[in-house]
Amino acid sequence: MAWDTERTKRLLLDAATAEFSEHGLAGARVDRIAAAAGVNKERIYQYFGKKDELFATVLADVLRESMDAVTPLGSGPAAVGDYAGRLFDHHMADGVIPRLIFWEGLERGSAAAEDPARVAYHAEKVTRLQTMLPGVGREAAGELLLTIVSLVNAWPALPQLDLLMIPDARGAQARRAARRAAIVATVTAAAAAAMGSGAD
């Protein structure tokens, strides 16, 4: 029977996504990834290279899926706020992207900005945001996108701050809905301010 390379790669990427999300780059173990995928660990090196290259592939994979799943709709500040709310929903569905982004920041820092694929990915996201806010310059759109990403990713990755700042008696679902509403309102206001300031 022929070896199904694409299936094996998918199994390894899924296992690596879970491992990196839980343990970060330094704490992840290639042996655990291979065992979870049911694949010999030599396949990891064959298909993806070293562990840090596998981490970069995992992150690129989940970010591209996110970009495809949460597309910008409409234009104007309310549309940008809606986009932020949908991105929050997507990231909250499994919590993987916020954790991977935070691990990357802690363990790779600015080195991640040297990856041409990541540079192109984020340039495309800024361009998409500019189409939603006609007349807004690239720097202002980038600043707004950074605000969106920070708001969306911080809440699931820093749950202790939420408990410290907003002691909650309403339950998890109500708190999540309140946080989503706060993000949408904040981003809508920031988008309106960006439109008011015009181009860079």
Q: Write out the residue range of the structural domain in which residue 8 sits.
A: 1-50
Is 117:61 a contact under the CB 8 Å cutoff?
no
> pTM of this prediction?
0.88
pLDDT tens-digit series, residues 120-151: 888 999 999 999 999 999 999 999 999 999 99
Q: How confident is the model at residue 3 (pLDDT cuts 50, 70, 90)?
A: low
Q: Which residues contact 138 (CB under 8 A, 6 or more apart)?
A: 126, 130, 200
Which CATH number is 16's domain given? 1.10.10.60
* 84 lies in the same domain as 181: yes
What sign does the CA torsion over 44, 48, 50, 56 have? negative
> How many domains is the chain built from?
2
Residues ≥6 apart with Cβ < 8 Å to 55: 16, 20, 25, 28, 104
Same domain for 26 and 76? no
| Residue 181 counted as domain residue | yes
